[in-house]
Amino acid sequence: MIKYSLIFRSFRPNFPDLMPMFEILYHDDALVAITKPAGYFVHRSMLDPRNKQIILQKLRQQIGQYLYPVHRLDRPTSGVLIFALNEDSVRHIAHQFTHNTPTKIYHAVVRGFVGSEIKKMDAPLKHELEDPDAEEPIVYQESLTYCRGLAQCELPLPVGRYETSRYSLVELQPITGRTHQLRRHLNYAAHPIVGDSKHGDLRHNKSIQTHFHNERLMLHASYLTLNHPETNQLLTLHSPFPEEFRTLLTAMNLPSDNPPLIPLHSR
């Protein structure tokens, strides 16, 4: 745990009006993987039907190929994102995600101190509908996440009745893939993710935004490991922390180097 006198440093993430060219992490005849920037939808969404800044369409233009979405990240999340390039690859990759066989590793900054021991979070999660006006029976889905703390800090930022604020950099491995699973499991564990406007702590979000001008969810998909759809060889994809993520980590005196890939749970 680090406790120190804070020197305020500010930054503002650059989310331009025009979508950026995407960083290609991997590209062959079967699939393409990119680093998804925070703040963009993977495909059109009922949450914002008029939004035209869609990764699917932009990446099609960038690489000149038809794309098949096979998994997705929330709009405010950054990190590894893959698309299939043919129907056979779609079936192969979709089968893996359906059976929860890919290894997904995320990193996040959360409220409170989280220890280094591996924690299991398995609270069932209510199915969330993308269309806010849709009506369906309430369904709770089995959900499983593993979590461990990597580093802690205590900042002289008063929030509520406390004179200081405590935060942790954590590593997460979701086994299932429910909507907002990591964000909801961490909130249920009393460690909401910094910058989460829906499932987070709005007082801490405001404090971090005021002192550091952070405008993003501090959740990044760092690693994705799956079997290649054509060769069946294990393929590991890695997206380093983006600049605005590293900048806030440095400002909070948390380590900004990407941790190595060490799964929290083996199947």
So which residues are the catalytic ones? 74
Residues 179 and 113 sit within 8 Å (Cβ to Cβ): no
Whether 111 and 204 have beta carbons less than 8 Å apart is answered as yes
DSSP state letter for 159:
B
Do β-strands 2-3 and 145-155 pair in parallel, antiparallel, or remain unpaired?
parallel
Distance CA 38, CA 75 (A): 6
3-state secondary structure of 91: helix
| Residue 110 near residue 168 (C-beta atoms within 8 A) | yes
Amino acid at residue number 239? S
